[in-house]
Amino acid sequence: MPDSRIFAFSRSDDVFFGILHSRFHEAWSFGTCSWHGVGNDPTYNSAGVFETFPFPEGLTPDIPAVRYEKDSRAIAISQVAKRLDDLRNAWLNPSDLVQIKPEVVPGYPDQILPKDIVSHAILRERALTNLYNRRPQWLVDAHSDLDAAVAGAYGWPTDISEDQALANLLVLLRHKFLT
């Protein structure tokens, strides 16, 4: 059941998706999130995590994607983010297990349905949590490519350490609030 800890972003561009799925945003999230429950689980929140995260200059959420679509940094992130999304979707809903049926209600996405009862049982195990717990090499490689593109957008080396990236993000955040 959804509660106040569910967040939806009204963006659908691959650059935004890519930046939020980079290791830099993940590290920022764990450093600025709330911790709740018996397991002291991280909880993403808008004020503490998203609103303070310093996006690369010129690729911020307040700028419509169409305004930076020709920016080489945006193109690089977009390409690898789209690839990550395509790979994940292919794993979640492989064509040999699902059928796509057009939605009858305008404005809604097509329906993705299991082809049969065996497919249904297999698909029940295919969730993003399970995928990320398994971390197959293709997923690791796709994230590595994404991290390299996002690092490039910041002007950082691709092998920047997490500590150095967080220090750089803090400098960008201070600059954002001082200007």
> 3-57, pLDDT tens digit by residue?
666 777 888 899 999 999 999 999 999 888 878 777 778 777 778 888 999 999 9
Which pair of structure tokens corresponds to residue 109? 């996405």
Burial of 131 (0-12, 13-18, 19+ CB in 10 A): middle
> 79-138, pLDDT tens digit by residue?
999 999 999 999 999 999 999 999 999 999 999 999 999 999 999 999 999 999 999 999
Q: Which has the closest alpha carbon to 20: 70, 61, 66?
A: 61
Q: What is the pTM of this model?
A: 0.90
Residue of higher predicted confidence among 43 and 147: 147
Contact 120, 114 (CB under 8 A): yes
Q: Where exactly are the structural domains of the chain? A: 14-178
Four-residue CA torsion sign, 2, 47, 44, 107: positive
